[in-house]
Chain A
Amino acid sequence: MKQWVLEPETEYRFELDPNTSLAIKVRSSTPSEPTPQLAHGQAEVFGAELAEGKTYLFGTECRAAVFTWQGCTLEISRPSTEYVSEETPMAAYANVHIAFEQMRVRALRVVHGSPASDDDANANAEPPRVLVLGPENSGKTTVCKILTNYTVRAGQNWSPVLVNVDPSEGGWAVPGAISAAPIRSPIATASPANPLGSAATSAPTALSSNALIPLSYWYGHSETKRNPVLLDRLIRNLGENIRQRDDDDPEARVSGLIVDTPSSFASSSSSAPDNRHTLIKACVDAFRINVILVVGHEKLTVEMQRLFGNRFTVVKIPKSGGVVELDHGYRERVHKYQLHTYMYGQKIDPPPGITSAIVGGEAVADLVLSPSSCVIKFGDLTIYRIGAENMAPSSALPIGAARMLSEMQPVLVDPASSSSGLLNSILALLAPFNPDESERYDEEILDLTVVGFLVVTSIDAPNRKMTILAPNQGSLVGKTALVGSFDWQE
């Protein structure tokens, strides 16, 4: 382990190659060996503080940074790439956080009915509902994570809802899904497979951010332009449910929400501005956004100010120099890690010489999961695809053609058909339809939340059976699932 002494407000950045891992420990003072006051460790990874003396593991091509406000001493094994940077945007992010805290305490004061003091009599009493926009590789997800972590660290029982509408990221679910989860403890960083914490398992966990309860919808593709109409609807569903939740619990509402978005919302090249604006507007409406943060993109800031400047604040925040350009291959591998982690949990082998360490704040043993593989009859599970498989682009349609229908149309997928494309597909298992027949409606399937994800690992057409890898042993008989365009093979 090599020792690094970090000056105040600097960060140690590292990148890992595939199949390598990294161990980081904040030097602590033991009773027998007191360390000088200065080197007293206060280090955080994307806003989550590291406990002194604990050895933290990072793996699966993790690229992250350990930042310190007051300086610290770190002991670190050898990563693939490492350096210390003195230029970080953390001061700006901290200012944004403080501004959000001001909004929260004002909103809470109103809920409590306490009298206003002079300094905030005229201020807006809405909690921050933040949309984070930015181009590719600008560190949007990291900004969301830092702001969320600072919020839960305030010791005020905040539980902000973190929303991920970037289907290529997956959040707590798997790529292809968009979801939301209330966060109550700092989100640890250990691997790109679960950048926003992990969904709950049957294992006991120390941090609630490793046992999150997400609300998830299945979009099924990584590209937002593939079916923007569907994405629009799912975003509105997500927003509607968060609103209901807020109505149910006014105190929780005060914590606000933070929305991470796909880079396609920001890039003018990949989609027509109409499309982008439609989806951004969908987010603004659905989540009742009152702050837009634009990460390091002047033009987009101006564009957003023009669109929304009269309604709420649009602020540009600096981009971190530590952001790494991620190529297509890397993203593909991260998708694989994510699904593997969803099924099998997280296993990071410590670097040589490290015998006891924690991953994302948890004991390593508790993160290993056993999925269930079972053979079911074709008829046991009903599988749909939303929209025709090979849709012509909108521009190819006659003007005024009923595009809506085909994009939102559930198409039954027959596993027996050789062209079903089901083998190795990721399926989203849906919550049951409304048991009350009179409450059922045509497009109900679009509004069903996801309860879990499955993979079709083999198809036995002659016997009309298929093998399904499921996260646990729950029965699949009589359920409905959706297929998208994501495949996965072990």
Chain B
Amino acid sequence: MYSQPHMYGQVAYAAPPSYHQPGPSAYSYQQPPPPPAPVYFVDPNSFRRDYAARLAELTINSRPIIQTLSMIAQEYSKWAEIVAQCLEAHIRRVPPWIKLPGFYLLDAISKNVYDPYTRHFTPFVIGLFLETYQQVDQATRSKMEEMLLTWRTASPTGKELFGVIPQLAIERGIWGGDSNPTGATSGQISRAQVLSELEFTLSQKERALQSNAWDTTAQRHVQILQQLRKLVEAGVSQDELRQILTQLRSLSQAPQPAAPAPPTTTTSYQYQAQPAYPRQTTQSAFSPPVSQHSSSTTYTSYALPSINQPKSEPVDSASLLSSVKSAAVPSTDIAGLYSALLKAGIVAGTGTPVGAGATATSEDTVTSSSENMSRDAARAYRQSVLSQNIRLTNADITRKRPNIDRLLYDRLPAQCKQCGVRFSDDTLGKKEMEDHLDMHFRQNRKANQSLGRGHSRSWFVDLDDWVHEGRVDVKGKGRADGPRPTTNKAALAVDAARRDAELRTQFVVVPSGDEAKSLSCPICKETLKTEFLEDDEEWVWKNAVRKDDKIYHATCYAEAMGSMHTLASRLRQDTTSRSRSGTPDASRATPQKGNSSVRSSQSRSPDSKRATLKRKASIDDCSQSSVKMESNGTPPMKKMALAP
């Protein structure tokens, strides 16, 4: 039951344990070897040797190995070319039955690190994919098709991962004809293509259903899709195939409900929660599916990013509302499609509704089995600890030989190569280690995303939040402090919106006498709006920032700096790592000492996102009346970097 998460792959790996996908025999349990230790390399040749050696171990679909290799690739993105060469050579060299894990690695690196890797993969990905596709068996082919479909929207901007041309070239290569049903040139659409896209959408819906078993819309979708599959398998006309394909595309691309969390979770406390990975085993009810979901989002930025959100994540009602609306769209689509087919007499309206009970029951089984497992583990540990004959007395403590090796090392043979934390090698330990590696993955990714953005010490939490940190949720099973909020599209969107809102609250005081003067932003050339601040009794330019005696829109400036920063920091990274000089990071995050007299009227602390949800008694709530700033020309203040 827990074998699936050890494997990397869109379906197998993201599916909750109770997932009933046909063909489970393909996922028989394989024990992943411990991930190899990352070593620091100074020269590209030894890096190449090592990376190739590690790749050679990728002979089974093991998520730990793929994760480790992907993490190394991320860490050494300056040698992306070497990684690309090694990976291409590896996939070409190995026999057909172990090519798929190599592709999963390519997939993981492309989706998670994206740049510069996709640039290096693009030149060979078409040829390699098609060549491999010809060599592998049918089961592997459908896995590859599935992966290919995720590439359509897997770039950070939601576009084709390797660009539209390679995507179409590969699709044409495996399905033939014009794979784009709405395209001007109307080629043949193969049944195989429709079927694999159907499978893909179906698996998405089934996953959605897993994470929210009471979602009747999803239930209906799954049901209809299953019937559609039967239909297509039985054979339908070109026109119908085209129609189905178009509908499927709009379905799988439609925004999905963000975090189908029960309303109770919105009350979860907000503080700068560190995720407490060891806690995860105690949140039992939803833990197995949820944590796997959250991990899957780190791999899959495609199609259904938000469904997999952990339940513990605070959800603001606005996004919930809008997601409800967007969820309604596909429902009409699919129902419309179905009814059209029904009218045409192709489908008989005899489906019996899928009972929610079935799913719920299987979930309960999972729950109790994982609970039993942790109880068993706790019992085994208890016996092991109690068997040691030590009493808390001066004599016992100083004279006995502690059997500590066993407790701290031997019992926990699997070790995280990133931070040294250990895990047992039983099923529970494997799952914990996976969650732990996912945590590192998210953290690495988050760190990369926030490069160049200044960080700061957070305020300590409220007494109430501190005391109730461990509060169990309403069901009394899961804990409020689930895994660290994952980085997925939904979270990023919220983050971006928040940053935008904060930027817009920035203002520059209009120098006296200039009130009537019209000023335009040097970037967008539009006029800056003035406004009178009652509290400060001053005219200000809204959404404005002063840099080098020019006034910009704060939003324009941030955007411009953002693109510059990514470029600059990349350059800086490249040069410093070559010149072996000091830390390249200091310059990035040290406070900018400028003559800026600008101040955001809101805290940019990371909790402000959460602050919008619930902020009982926090430091930020008086910030509406912003601290009055000096007017222009007064002594400079030390400022935290306003750059994005």
Binding site for B on A (CB under 8 A): 28-32, 42, 48-55, 69-70, 91-92, 94-99, 101-102, 105-106, 108-109, 112, 114, 117, 119-120, 150, 152-159, 173, 182, 184-186, 199-208, 211-216, 241, 244-245, 248-249, 251-252, 291, 313, 315-318, 342-343, 345, 347, 349-350, 353, 355-356, 361, 363-366, 368-377, 380, 429, 431-432, 435, 449-452, 467, 469, 471-479
Contact = CB atoms under 8 A, between A and B. Distances in A.
Interface string B188-225: 00000000000000000000000000000000000000
Contacts of B584: 365
A117 B439 CA distance: 37
B274 A212 contact: yes
A245 B467 contact: yes
A98 B378 contact: no
Given A245-B470, A342-B457, A369-B589, A204 B282 contact: no
Nearest to B424: A155
Contacts of B421: 49, 153, 185-186
Contacts of A475: 601-603, 619-620, 622-623, 626-627
A425 B69 CA distance: 50
B529 interface: no
A52 B417 CA distance: 7
A475 B420 CA distance: 39
Interface residues of B, number: 125
Contacts of B396: 95, 99
Given A49-B408, A363-B447, 18 more contacts: A42-B409, A53-B38, A95-B390, A97-B402, A98-B403, A157-B282, A173-B460, A184-B278, A185-B277, A345-B589, A368-B588, A370-B589, A374-B599, A432-B619, A452-B459, A474-B620, A475-B622, A479-B619
A91 B599 contact: no
Contact of A365 (B38, B588, B622): B588
Given A120-B386, A245-B470, A452 B378 contact: no
A201 B457 contact: yes
A476 B450 contact: no
B20 interface: no
Nearest to A366: B447
Given A98-B388, A101-B385, A114-B379, A201 B455 contact: yes
Interface stretch (B168-176, B255-263, B633-641): B633-641
23 contacts: A54-B420, A55-B40, A70-B405, A94-B404, A98-B407, A106-B386, A120-B386, A155-B278, A158-B278, A159-B276, A201-B272, A201-B458, A202-B605, A202-B606, A245-B469, A251-B470, A349-B582, A356-B40, A363-B447, A432-B618, A452-B459, A474-B623, A475-B623
Contact of A477 (B50, B468, B623): B623
In the A-B complex, list the 4 residue pairs whose CB atoms are closest, starting with the nearest: A249-B470, A365-B585, A475-B623, A471-B457
A399 B447 CA distance: 61
Nearest to A363: B447
Contacts of B456: 201-202, 369-372, 471-473
B385 A51 contact: no
B415 interface: yes
Interface string B528-545: 000000000000000000
B621 to A, nearest CB: 8
B603 A373 contact: no
B343 interface: no
Contacts of A152: 278
B500 interface: no
A370 B591 contact: yes
Interface string B47-66: 00110011001000000000
Contact of A474 (B603, B625, B639): B603
Contacts of B277: 184-185, 208
B455 A203 contact: yes
Interface in B444-466: 446-447, 450-451, 454-463, 466
A159 B470 CA distance: 10
Given A202-B606, A368-B590, A477-B625, A102 B420 contact: no
A102 B467 contact: no
B37 A29 contact: yes
B418 A51 contact: yes
B281 A157 contact: yes
Nearest to A156: B381
Contacts of A213: 271-274, 460-461, 466, 469
A349 B392 contact: no
B429 interface: yes
Contacts of B422: 49, 153, 155
B185 interface: no
Given A112-B378, A157-B282, A472 B583 contact: no
A117 B387 CA distance: 11
B417 A51 contact: yes
A206 B443 contact: yes
B336 interface: no
B139 interface: no
B440 interface: yes
B274 A184 contact: yes
Interface in B309-349: none
Nearest to B381: A156
B40 to A, nearest CB: 5
Given A102-B386, A155-B423, A372 B455 contact: no
Nearest to A108: B378
A226 to B, nearest CB: 24
B46 to A, nearest CB: 8
Contacts of A49: 408, 415, 420-422
A473 B607 CA distance: 12
Contacts of B281: 157
Contacts of B90: none
A354 to B, nearest CB: 9
A215 B466 contact: yes
A203 B447 contact: yes
A315 B36 CA distance: 43
Contacts of B463: 215, 241, 431, 449
A464 to B, nearest CB: 12
A265 to B, nearest CB: 20
Given A105-B382, A184-B279, A202-B458, A53 B39 contact: yes
A59 to B, nearest CB: 12
B551 interface: no
Contacts of A376: 627
A451 B626 CA distance: 19
B375 A99 contact: no
A212 B466 CA distance: 11
B42 interface: yes
B407 A154 contact: yes
B591 A473 contact: no
A69 B409 contact: yes
Nearest to B458: A200
A370 B455 contact: yes
A478 B619 CA distance: 9
Contact of A155 (B37, B429, B601): B429
